[in-house]
């Protein structure tokens, strides 16, 4: 892995843990007098929420790299050029040229776009393990 991807991975994990701790705190995981089962449930809920967020966002990123959403991007660009007064009208190309240009940009980005999805799957594994531990009690 490149150093840039490792830094992105660490940042995503830290942000995920901060959000998960917030959810755990709101569920009462760190309160006094809470039973072990309720504590495990609250911690599992925190990891579940962040796992679903990361997996959803990761799937959106993956779908956007396939070119499926290019038509929406093209329509938004055309609508913005139509609605904004005095905007440049140089973007009068056809959808085919727009799609070819986007495909070139997509190839230049390289790998690392699946990082969010993998982080989400990691959090989901932790959440499933905690859910199983909660059911065992």
Distance, C-alpha 11 to centroid of its chain: 13
> What are the boundaries of each domain within the chain?
3-136
Cα separation values, 61 from 2, 46, 67, 93, 104, Å: 20, 23, 11, 26, 17
Least confident range from 43-47, 105-109, 110-114: namely: 110-114
Q: Give the C-alpha separation, 45 to 25, whole Å.
A: 11
Q: Dihedral through CA 47, CA 53, CA 56, CA 61, nearest 10?
A: -120
Per-residue pLDDT tens for 2-23? 888 889 899 999 999 999 999 9
Q: Give the C-alpha separation, 137 to 134, whole Å.
A: 6
Q: What per-residue confidence (pLDDT) applies to 21? A: 96
| φ, ψ for residue 91, nearest 5 deg | -90, 50
pTM: 0.77
Per-residue pLDDT tens for 56-84? 999 988 888 888 888 888 888 888 777 88
């Amino acid at each position: 892995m490149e150093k840039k991807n490792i830094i992105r991975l660490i940042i995503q994990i830290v942000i995920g843990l901060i959000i998960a701790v917030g959810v755990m705190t709101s569920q009462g995981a760190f309160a006094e007098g809470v039973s072990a089962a309720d504590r495990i449930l609250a911690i599992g809920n925190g990891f579940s929420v962040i796992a679903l967020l990361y997996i959803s966002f990761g799937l959106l990123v993956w779908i956007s790299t396939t070119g499926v959403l290019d038509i929406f991007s093209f329509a938004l660009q055309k609508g913005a050029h139509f609605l904004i007064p005095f905007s440049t009208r140089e973007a009068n190309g056809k959808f085919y040229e727009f799609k070819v240009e986007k495909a070139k940009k997509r190839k230049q980005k390289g790998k690392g776009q699946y990082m969010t999805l993998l982080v989400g799957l990691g959090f989901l594994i932790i959440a499933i393990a905690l859910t199983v531990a909660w059911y065992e009690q």
